[in-house]
Amino acid sequence: MFFGVSHLVVPVTDLQRAARLWRDVMGFAESRRGEGYLDIDTGNVAIRLLQVPAVETKVSLRLTVGNVQEAYQALLAAGAAARYEPMRTPELEEMACVSDADGHSIVLWRALTEDEWGFVPELPKQGEWTPEAEDLLKRLLTHVPALFRMLARRKTTKVIELLAREMQSPVTREIVIKGYITASAKVTRYRLVEPLRAEGINPDDYREDFDYE
């Protein structure tokens, strides 16, 4: 019965002024125009700018942006009013907010990358680890691109703990090295050479692990 949201309606007192903000400043495309309205394609949902004599109900729109500071300054330069400057939140995101000429809130938002968190997440470990082993894996994982690091942390920790159980041993530095290598697909293990060397580890000492299927 229900197929989804076709568009969000934003009442505006000056249709052309609102169109300039959404189309010319923000760079979204105009998709449809009719008597007293204009549709803006934001890429995932359409916004209908609807001409009204007076705005009785204000709305709040949350926009994903690549650079919060740049987007915030661009909107201020276009005449938007500041509500709050770019800031980082406890939810590990960066946000800022402005008001357009009709008082609608435009929230600018992006998720922080793991490199921007300011702390190193704990390993999802269950077994016994030596402090040296845990610290080594955390350092090695910093070489993984932030976008893929959470997945790598889970997979590598699991492989390392499986190795430790097979060896009936707590997780040691040596087991971390072996698990770090074998957790990676064989075709991409060449990427591990430099991180290992950066930790003073000679990859040639682990040729058997690099060749492991």
pLDDT of residue 189: 93
Q: What does R_g of the chain's alpha carbons equal in angstroms?
A: 26
Domain boundaries, the chain: 7-112, 131-210
How do residues 112-140 score in pLDDT, each as one tens digit?
Answer: 999 898 888 999 999 999 999 999 999 99
- What whole-number distance in Å separates Cα of residue 95 and Cα of residue 92? 10
- What whole-number distance in Å separates Cα of residue 192 and Cα of residue 41? 43
Q: Which residues is 47 bridged to in the sheet?
A: 8, 40
Whether the pTM exceeds 0.85: the reply is no
How do residues 154-198 score in pLDDT, each as one tens digit?
Answer: 999 999 999 999 999 999 999 999 999 999 999 999 999 999 999
Q: Are strands 105-111 and 7-12 parallel, antiparallel or unpaired?
A: unpaired
**Alpha-carbon torsion 91, 92, 98, 104, what sign?**
negative
Q: What CATH number matches the domain at 7-112, 3.90.1010.10, 3.40.50.800, 3.40.50.970, 3.10.180.10? A: 3.10.180.10
End-to-end CA distance of the chain: 51
| DSSP string computed for 27-69 | -PEEEEEETTEEEEE-SSSEEEEEE-SS--S--EEEEE-S-HH
